[in-house]
Amino acid sequence: MANERNLKPARTKSEAREKGRAGGKASGAARRNKRDARETAKLFLDMAAAGQLDDNLGKLNVEPGDRTNLMALIARLVLAAQSGNVQAARLVLELSGDLPNRPENSFNVNVGKDDESNIVIYIPDNGRN
């Protein structure tokens, strides 16, 4: 990471051009690497769940056509959240779009069909997201 101590100004226009070109190439390579990693992750998540994962999704009454690695991952997150894992609960709510972006560290969750079952849950930030 660049900072004031290790930045050296270009001495000539051609040197500045060369450094700029090298930086552009490095930036492009980094973007391509991130893109490839994202595409690879999507490929694996979209693959059909196999073996024990498929069996576990069947026990959760997931339709056979919907049994993907992504479904298994989210199912595991939901189960962890139900067991009291606050980070898993926060992630599941974020993924589902039910976690509003508020400056305060609390949110409302409807747990029933009537308006009286509205619960406020407090999750401390602790500097982690």
Assigned domain for 84 exists:
yes
Assigned domain for 31 exists:
yes
pTM listed for this prediction: 0.58
Whether residue 65 is predicted with pLDDT greater than 60 in this model: the reply is yes
Residue 30 lies in domain: 20-103
Assigned domain for 45 exists:
yes
Which residue, chain included where needed, has tokens 């073996």?
51
pLDDT cut 70: percent of the chain above it: 75
Q: How many domains does the chain have?
A: 1
Taking only the tens place, the pLDDT of each residue in 69-101 is 999 999 999 999 999 999 999 899 988 888 766
